Amino acid sequence: MSTTAYAEEAPRVTPTPPSIAPDQAALLQSDDPQLAAHKKLVYDMYRIVLQGGYADRAKEFIREDYIQHNPNVSSGRAALEAYVRSTRPERPLKDTLELPVVSMLAEGDMVTIAFVRPEKDASGETYYSTWFDMFRIQDGKIAEHWDPMLKTDPPIDPNDKKVK
pLDDT on residue 113: 97
What domains appear along the chain, each with residue ranges and CATH number?
20-147 (3.10.450.50)
Residue 152 pLDDT: 59
The per-residue DSSP string of 13-79 comes to: PPPPPP---S-HHHHT--SSHHHHHHHHHHHHHIIIIIIT--GGGGGGTEEEEEEE-STTS-SSHHH
CA atoms within 13 A on the CB side of 10: 10
State pTM to two decimals: 0.83
pLDDT at 84: 95
Question: What pLDDT is recorded for position 95?
Answer: 96
Average pLDDT, 10 consecutive residues per value, the chain (164 residues): 57 73 95 98 97 98 96 93 94 94 97 90 86 96 88 55 52
